[in-house]
Chains A and B, each alone.
Chain A
Amino acid sequence: MNPIMSLPVLATVLFCIGLLVVIFKKNTIMILIGLELMLNSANLNLIAFSSYRADADGQLLILFILIVAVCEAAVGLAIALRVYRYYQTSIPENISELKETAS
């Protein structure tokens, strides 16, 4: 078996971990980390498939994606910070301004 083909498996595992982190972690920072994890698992897939096809296009695309991801992370963190400043919490569940009071 081509060692490169084990990379998608790693990517799948990473993706699942990221997804579980996004779903189950309470803190916004941790959710952002989970998102980052899922993004990078996709990047890993791109790397794996581009080297399998001996084509550099995919790896070039990753460079762009990384930059975009950094911007995304910065924006996400900034939003998280603003939310924390405003609501005095970074846990999304506790932000319930629009929710009707429990009857």
Chain B
Amino acid sequence: MKISRRTFLKISGATAAGTVVGGLGFDLSPAEVYAQELRIKGAKATTTICCYCSVGCGIIVHTDAQGKVINAEGDPDHPINEGALCPKGGSSFQIAVNPNRLQKVRYRAPYSTAWKDVTWEWTLNKIAANIKKSRDESFLPMNADGKVVNRTKGIASVGSAALDNEECWLYQKFLRSLGLVFIEHQARI
């Protein structure tokens, strides 16, 4: 995870010099570089890959001493994007820092008009019981031709290309052990 901050500053400094000197008659670039650096001074840099399209751009996420995300920018060392990001990748800071994020487990009871906040423990137990009930009621050991199929008719799943590889693998293992065959996701659409 070696991040060449220097390389990045060199690039941004050069760009700033090229654009700023002409207009004002004096060079603002040292100030700009200083301002840029100040924003993330002392911050911890972590590399990640953009979550949007499939180009796979490198992003550096900066967090402060409290572990809060304070900045996200293109990874200058990444060979694909070389520090550049599109508007979406450049906004990914706002995924981490966003009051609209789901922060609680929510439950909507049948025929209810509102969400209710619930605990993980209660929720996972209830989902597990639902899975068991649906599975046990719909399990099909043999099809109409008398062939062994051992599948669960009553549960389906979609998702997800937004998961990591390891999670995708784990998820299909989970679903197939339950006997699901209706397993689909974004790749189909």
Are A and B bound to each other? no
A-side interface residues toward B, CB under 8 Å? none
Interface positions of B (Cβ within 8 A of A): none
